[in-house]
């Protein structure tokens, strides 16, 4: 198993679990943004988990770089606090971060800095989650929860329903350069019914 299992901070220290520092994400984002700036390529950051990475991507977008980002539905609703009772269902990669990070992710989604919500569906057999937390396999069964969790964002007033639907459908299609994700005459009916 991995040497690090949860966000490095007060909760990891209290639980005695090795943590993944924020810098594990932000250093990689900074490096990639520097390369993107030098080469002019288009790039997408997946599963962003820190408020600092959102700020870095926002600045890059403001500077005209062609960068997009997505976030998992569970990172918008869960935090390191949910790991506090050694809940192995919350052992995910990247790890669940602080409430401040969660707020930053939500703000980034509301402002359009983060243009897509993903499920990051990585289910495992039950036995993979029964060991002590640090020995469990990271991943979460999320396909069935991405829509209900995302609808909470609408119910709380963070984003409207039209924006939510776009973040789950047309925006990911645009990022991938696909002409799908919409119901229009002549288009393929590429839909998922929950």
Active site residues: 120
Long-range contacts of 4-13 (CB under 8 A, 24+ apart): 4/95, 5/91, 5/95, 5/133, 5/134, 5/138, 6/80, 6/83, 6/91, 6/95, 6/96, 6/133, 7/80, 7/95, 7/96, 7/97, 7/98, 9/80, 9/98, 11/80, 11/81, 11/83, 11/84, 12/80
State the Cα–Cα distance between residues 50 and 55, nearest whole angstrom. Answer: 9
- Decide if 113 contacts 57 (C-beta within 8 A): yes
């Amino acid at each position: 198993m991995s040497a690090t299992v949860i966000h490095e901070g007060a909760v990891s220290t209290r639980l005695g679990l090795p943590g993944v520092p924020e810098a594990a994400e932000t250093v990689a984002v900074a490096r990639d943004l520097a390369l993107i700036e030098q080469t002019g390529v288009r790039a997408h950051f997946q599963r962003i988990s820190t408020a600092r990475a959102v700020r870095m991507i926002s600045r890059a977008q403001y500077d005209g770089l062609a960068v997009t980002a997505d976030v998992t539905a569970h990172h918008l609703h869960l935090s390191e606090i949910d790991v506090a009772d050694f809940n192995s269902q919350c052992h995910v990669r990247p790890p669940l971060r602080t409430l401040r990070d969660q707020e930053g992710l939500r703000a980034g989604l509301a402002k359009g800095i983060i243009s897509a919500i993903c499920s990051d569906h990585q289910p495992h057999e039950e036995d993979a989650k029964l060991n002590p937390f640090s020995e469990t396999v990271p991943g979460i069964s999320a396909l069935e929860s991405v829509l209900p969790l995302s609808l909470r964002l609408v119910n709380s007033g963070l984003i409207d329903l039209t924006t939510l639907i776009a973040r789950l459908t047309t925006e990911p299609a645009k990022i991938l350069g696909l002409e799908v994700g919409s119901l229009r005459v002549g288009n393929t009916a590429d839909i998922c019914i929950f």
